[in-house]
Structure 1
């Protein structure tokens, strides 16, 4: 069993043990076991970074076992510079979510913790799979624990939100399954993704594949106009569910574009690049304006996520190293920042049981420590230099300006909108005099909440001040991908 298998199956094994434990009377031991499982799962991923070779674009830590021999399906895993950091990020966010739900979840604690551990393993499987069918199994399997997390521990409209989440993401994926079967037939009966990258495909076939993959990945990102499921789901999901959804699950779609759409259908990707750039800019500009008028904090941050992920797809489809690397860095940064934003809203919701901005005011007077963290996270969400939020956006804007000045200018406007809606929310929630009794009675964050906030703050500042470890890992793989996309695959 290699490192990647350990990274996938360790949290899943802990999750299954937690499900077997059963009753809420054992909640204390359940929480500690979940924390041990999450920490061990995270520690298992660290040797992936320390043993990673920076000078090659080849897949590393490869594992290959025959799975379904008759159809030539393999249990085939590996990571390169594009996927490595997402494996580590997934395991890190899982630790954060387990600590964040420690006291908040009081019923079905074992099932809640197990759902997150199993979900973590499945998402790492998506980032590690080098076999098309294995990728699809992991990709679809992630829907089940998230569906349960929203449907069991969510808000008043949780069933509606869970169904909307499931149907949107499942319907898009069905076209992708047809695309995978088509590629299997074209390749002479192989699900090897690397082999698919080399197939000479006609323009018609590439266009079909591009839009079949687009159906699944654009919904998952989510790109405008198929983003409408996200705000509803975020509002109803429990805090931990929102954090994982924004920090990791949205990245599965963007990752799919890099692993499938661009290398398998490079000619179609170049042909439809303008289409993708326009959709990305609409997300950056229009959805940023929509975020500005939200009265619900979770909805505001949900729309903010759509705008930030617009940066990611914009970076990918301008086809230059700065843009693609910037998109990847933005994905990792958004993982830290969006998780921090949703967990901050969760801290307030646990005390006041309201997400409405109007329910607050002057929180800094009663929760000064928490307000300091919230300010840092808000600044990172705006893209302040020195925080993780700045690095990826800056790289994408530079890449966009190289591609086309107007595209770069429109992308840069997101920094203005981001500052407007984030700081206006911060002003109304945290600053000024205390406006109601609920805020007057607030108590500052405890040691557990402080730990969660501090871990995310360290990650955001470290990445903002020293992004080199992140960019070095992806540099060779991004260059190799762009070289591959530039070469025509038409027969």
Structure 2
């Protein structure tokens, strides 16, 4: 089984969707079948993680076969210390998102759950693909189900949000495709072998001229920056989050945003090392702007979901800052913060969705004093609020600390400004929590029902992980040590060789 574990992980959700489509008609039976399928997918990641060799930076569980030999296209997949946590995050959040959607998806239930399963195949495929052609197919495959999830099951302005999401992401995809084609021909020109093999193309990075690297870097960077999203190409995110159903917001914030930062790690740094080093200050400036700007805009939001959406712009700024510090601490902090952000922000969107189901409003001004009616909700919401701030003992503290250590080593001036983001986060998150849960009681919410068993079940794994990462982060960082060390050496050795 371990010989084909990656293919099973990629295609099991798609097979499950096909079986459900053929044999199940009822919405509820589809709902439970989808949940069981996503739980099986999550369970399949356990042997992957327990069998993973943490002492090597090499790709593991590799599967490789010719697909379209005439075009140099292969079915080529593998996993390393950079991608393995993203696989676990994807399968975990997808299962939780399905369980969390049981009560609010009333129309076209069957189609909704089929879309989630197809989306999961695309997400897992992106993190495992080692052939550019295969990667691009999975990248585009994600776009369609998420567009449908927002556009069909979203809020009042769902069509506007879905189209904006689609157009922004498509624009980035076109630039990325042009960069891939250019690399395909450049590799053929250098070696005489035309291939989309990511590892082979990366191995030739030292032979790419500075001008060529700059063009490729900018094409990739803009494509991935839109996905993160970085300032100033972030404007699609708040609209998409506000209009998306809860499951869509959880997947969007928890996994899809990580596709952009993963692209920086897998493509920009190793394939264009000299350009990446040259653009370090530029990316650092954009990251710091995102940290501060996202926090300031979050402070003035009246919609609690939009507040959390803008907080994602700020938090992902820390991730890009750590990655482009291009050192061990910064990149490890960035990867860990990608994971932490998925857990914490995913949980916040689940909690906001749970209270929205009861009140049918997300306006902060319409809440107030509900903590007495929903003490369990208030306690868990407080924990994840503190987690978002980066309270010591919780996961985000470790991630942000590593990012800032790496940033101080690379560019101390920017790191000092970035550190202010922690203070801003405390301001907007605690102020939001105070206005929603405390102050004067809105009489409309006197009889609110607290969290039920299903809601407690789906939030508990995220709660455990937040403290697990905060108390013993080595469980998670141990996967990435060798891969990050190799990546940093790869970037600087290639960059210096070119000079």
TM-score (norm 2): 0.96
SS in 2 for 1:58: coil
**Residue number in structure 2 paired with 1:353:** 360
Where do 5+ consecutive residues of structure 1 fail to align? none
Partner of 2:476: 470
- Residue of 186, 190, 195 corresponding to 2:195: 190
**Deviation of residue 67 (structure 1)?**
1.1
Q: Where do 4+ consecutive residues of structure 1 move more than 4 Å?
A: none
1:71-110 to 2 correspondence within 5 Å? Answer: 71-110=71-110
Aligned to 1:459: 465
Q: Match of 2:454?
A: 448
Deviation at 1:119, TM superposition (A): 0.8
| 2:91/2:120 contact within 8 Å kept | yes
- Given candidates 235, 245, 250, the residue that maps to 2:242 is 235
* Deviation at residue 390 of structure 1 after TM alignment: 1.1
Partner of 2:191 in structure 1? none
Is contact 2:298–2:306 with CA below 8 Å preserved after alignment? yes
Residue deviations 1:262-289 (CA, integer Å, cap 9, x gap): 1111000001110000000000112211
* 1:143-158 equivalences in 2 (<5 Å): 143-158=143-158
SS at match of 2:74: strand
- TM, length-normalised to structure 1: 0.98
The answer to whether residue 281 in structure 2 is matched with residue 274 in structure 1 is yes
Deviations 1:21-56 (A, max 9, x none): 564xx2222122111100001111111110001111
**CA-CA distance at 1:206 after TM superposition:** 0.3
- Per the alignment, residue 391 of structure 1 pairs with 398
Shift of 1:136: 0.8
Which of 19, 23, 32 pairs up with 1:17? 19
Secondary structure of the equivalent of 1:473? coil
The CA RMSD over aligned residues, in Å, is: 1.2
1:310 corresponds to = 317
Equivalents in 2 of 1:137, 1:62: separation in Å?
19
SS state at 1:187 partner: helix
* Cα distance between partner residues in 1 of 2:127 and 2:89: 11
Matched residue SS, 1:2: helix
1:339-362 deviations in Å (ceiling 9; x for gaps): 001111101111111111011111
Task: State the 1:403 CA deviation.
Answer: 2.2
Q: Deviations over 1:195-236 (max 9, x none)?
A: 111221111100000011012100000000000000011010
Aligned equivalent of 2:488: 482
- Say whether the 8 Å CA contact 1:365–1:433 is kept in structure 2: no
Alpha-carbon separation, structure 2, partners of 1:344 and 1:263: 38
Whether the 8 Å CA contact 2:370–2:441 is kept in 1: the answer is yes
Equivalent residues in 2 for 1:194-233 (5 A)? 194-199=199-204, 200-233=207-240
Cα drift, residue 63 of structure 1: 0.3
* Cα distance, 1:179–1:450 mapped onto 2, change above 3 Å: same
Alignment partners' CA distance in 1, 2:301 and 2:330: 30
8 Å Cα contact 1:126/1:139 also seen in 2: yes
Worse overlay, 236-245 or 385-394: 385-394
Secondary structure of 2:451's match? coil
From 401, 417, 434, the equivalent of 2:408 is 401
How far, CA to CA, are the matches of 2:349 and 2:443 in structure 1? 23
- 3-state SS, counterpart of residue 204 of structure 1: helix
Instruction: Please point out which of 261, 286, 289 is paired with 2:268.
Output: 261
Secondary structure in 2 matching 1:252: helix
Q: In the aligned structure 1, how far is the partner of 2:367 from the partner of 2:24?
A: 38
The answer for unaligned runs of 5 or more in structure 2 is 189-193
1:93-172 matches, cutoff 5 A: 93-172=93-172
Q: How many residues align?
A: 488
